[in-house]
């Protein structure tokens, strides 16, 4: 086994691509990046790595167990980090099949390949190997305004097909540690934002629509609360858990930055008002439009991240204000990227999701 090699899955998506860039900047070792390149995966996110000898890109599916097995045999990684997933709640409501296929069946084949590989390692390598599964705070369900934040011990109560499929994958990972002794780690993180996020998610969608001068759709009355974490802080947390996490353990990761959706939207509009003023000094706020709510919309997520802080020493470096300023600037500076990812099928999705809302 080559301890420094990592098999990253889903590394052409939002968080995965940020993680791959983070690892290569830190010169951690060889990154083998397995991604199916669904609508959410974009090779452009990795373009500047084209000549980087420490990055190997493979287009493929985590559900293809023999492909995964051959990659493990060839590159002998010391860790697998699993980002690959269908990740958008609204898409899981209009079409849950892909979520079950990738998040549940795909994770099963990936971890099964990992187990077979791990069993063939020497005793030292078996104890050094890690399978890190990247999950979400949504598996814990929803909170009311004054409820305590989610802890690692909070009972699972997923409410959407997306969160149910992620919960199922978390349970598989737990079972593979408990039954076979595979050294697994699971991280449950709150909402991420930052560069390369596909503009179907709230923050990049708001920036995109505002700059185009089209309506900014806010579900319900905009009072739902999310805890926001800048993506690089999430990547640092994953690296830290890989290095120092206890096999079989779960770590909650959060930004300690709870905001209502309306607060998030107003923050983006205020930054844009400063950076790209509209004609006649109209605020971008004028584009906010309240639309039909998401079915089963979770009211609030909040993360208690004291375990990872206490045991591993991780804490976020960005505040919501610094992270949002960087994010809005990135989207303004990468208009060509936004243009490329919002043509074709993106328009069909916008019609499917927003066409039916009043
Ligand atoms: P994303 O949708 O931007 O990217 C997912 C990536 O996985 C894409 O590159 C896609 O091509 C790839 N993929 C999908 N199905 C695949 C398959 N069967 N085989 C191989 N690759 C496949 O997602 P993201 O927002 O970067 O999220 C990454 C992970 O982090 C997911 O597991 C998600 O549940 C979790 N997560 C996301 C957030 C968030 O706020 N975005 C927060 C917490 C946890
Ligand atoms: O909490 C972690 C999760 O965060 C991740 O596991 C998911 O992969 C990720 O997509 C995200 O889920 P959310 O549903 O919280 O993110 P989204 O950006 O879709 O929505 C954020 C909030 O904004 C949510 O309350 C719904 C609302 N919203 C979203 C869209 C797309 C709107 O009001 N209008 C919109 O157009």
Domains of the chain, each with CATH number or no CATH = 2-197+229-256+299-317 (3.40.50.720)
Average pLDDT taken over every residue of the chain: 97
- Contact between 68 and 52 under an 8 Å Cβ cutoff? The reply is no
d(CA 14, CA 204): 11
User: Using one digit for the tens of pLDDT, what is the confidence trace for 242-279?
Assistant: 999 999 999 999 999 999 999 999 999 999 999 999 98
Closest atom of ligand 1 to CA, residue 45: 9
Residue 273: CB partners within 8 Å, gap ≥ 6? 283, 284
Dig out the tokens for 148 from the structure: 């305590």
Residue 230 DSSP SS3:
strand
Cβ–ligand 1 distance for 16 under 6 Å, the answer yes
Reply yes or no on whether the pLDDT at 333 is more than 90.
yes
Cβ–ligand 1 distance for 103 under 6 Å, the answer no
Dig out the tokens for 191 from the structure: 């909402």
- pLDDT recorded at residue 47: 93
Reply yes or no on whether the pLDDT at 100 is more than 90.
yes
Cβ–ligand 1 distance for 133 under 6 Å, the answer no
Q: What mean pLDDT do residues 74-98 have? A: 98
Residues with CB under 6 A from ligand 2: 87-89, 136-138, 190-191, 201-202, 205, 217-219, 224, 226, 261, 294, 301
Nearest ligand to the CA of 150 is 2
Closest atom of ligand 1 to CA, residue 197: 3
Dig out the tokens for 147 from the structure: 């409820």
Q: Which has the closest alpha carbon to 59: 14, 9, 114, 131?
A: 9
Question: Helices (DSSP H) in 120-201: which residue ranges?
Answer: 123-128, 161-180
Closest atom of ligand 2 to CA, residue 87: 8
Q: Which has the closest alpha carbon to 351: 200, 242, 173?
A: 200
pTM of whole model > 0.95? yes
User: Using one digit for the tens of pLDDT, what is the confidence trace for 170-220?
Assistant: 999 999 999 999 999 999 999 999 999 999 999 999 999 999 999 999 999
Q: Which has the closest alpha carbon to 170: 104, 109, 235, 106?
A: 104
d(CA 5, CA 31): 6
Catalytic residue ranges: 137-138, 162
Reply yes or no on whether the pLDDT at 234 is more than 90.
yes
- Contact between 93 and 297 under an 8 Å Cβ cutoff? The reply is no
Reply yes or no on whether the pLDDT at 327 is more than 90.
yes
Q: Tally Cβ neighbours within 10 Å of residue 119.
A: 11
Which residue has tokens 């001068």?
A: 213
185: left (phi over 0), alpha (psi -120 to 50) or beta: beta
Reply yes or no on whether the pLDDT at 147 is more than 90.
yes
- pLDDT recorded at residue 144: 98
d(CA 85, CA 60): 13
Q: What DSSP designation does 103 have?
A: I
User: Using one digit for the tens of pLDDT, what is the confidence trace for 283-317?
Assistant: 999 999 999 999 999 999 999 999 999 999 999 99
Distance 40 CA to ligand 1 centre (A): 8
- pLDDT recorded at residue 341: 94
């Amino acid at each position: 086994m080559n301890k420094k090699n990592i098999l990253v899955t889903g590394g052409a998506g939002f968080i995965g691509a940020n993680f791959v860039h983070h690892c290569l900047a830190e010169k951690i070792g060889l990154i083998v990046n397995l991604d199916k390149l669904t609508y959410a995966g974009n090779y452009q996110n990795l373009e500047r790595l084209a000549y980087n000898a420490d990055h190997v890109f493979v287009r493929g599916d985590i559900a293809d167990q023999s492909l995964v097995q051959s990659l493990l045999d060839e590159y002998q990684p010391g860790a697998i980090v699993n980002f690959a997933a269908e990740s958008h709640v609204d898409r899981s409501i209009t079409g849950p099949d892909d979520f079950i296929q990738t998040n549940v069946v795909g994770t099963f084949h990936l971890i099964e390949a990992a187990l077979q590989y791990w069993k063939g390692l020497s005793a030292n390598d078996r104890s050094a190997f890690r399978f890190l599964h990247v999950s979400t705070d949504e598996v814990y369900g929803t909170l009311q305004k004054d409820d305590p934040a989610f802890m690692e011990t909070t009972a699972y109560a997923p409410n959407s097909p997306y969160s149910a499929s992620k919960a199922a994958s978390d349970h598989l990972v737990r079972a593979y540690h408990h039954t076979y002794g595979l050294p697994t780690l699971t991280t449950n993180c709150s909402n991420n934002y930052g560069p390369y996020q596909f503009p179907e998610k709230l923050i990049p969608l708001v920036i995109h629509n505002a700059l185009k001068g089209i309506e900014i759709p806010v579900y319900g009355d905009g009072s739902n609360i999310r805890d926001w974490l800048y993506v690089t802080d999430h990547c640092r947390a994953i690296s830290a858990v890989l290095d120092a996490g206890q096999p079989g353990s779960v770590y909650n990761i959060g930004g300690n930055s709870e905001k209502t959706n309306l607060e998030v939207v107003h923050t983006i509009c205020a930054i844009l008002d400063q950076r790209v003023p509209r004609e006649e000094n109209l605020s971008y706020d004028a584009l906010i439009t309240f639309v039909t709510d998401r079915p089963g919309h979770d009211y609030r997520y909040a993360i208690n991240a004291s375990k990872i802080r206490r045991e591993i020493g991780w804490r976020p470096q960005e505040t919501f204000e610094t992270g949002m300023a960087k994010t809005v600037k990135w989207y303004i500076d990468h208009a060509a990227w936004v243009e490329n990812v919002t043509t074709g099928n993106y328009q069909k999705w916008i019609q499917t999701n927003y066409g039916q809302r009043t």
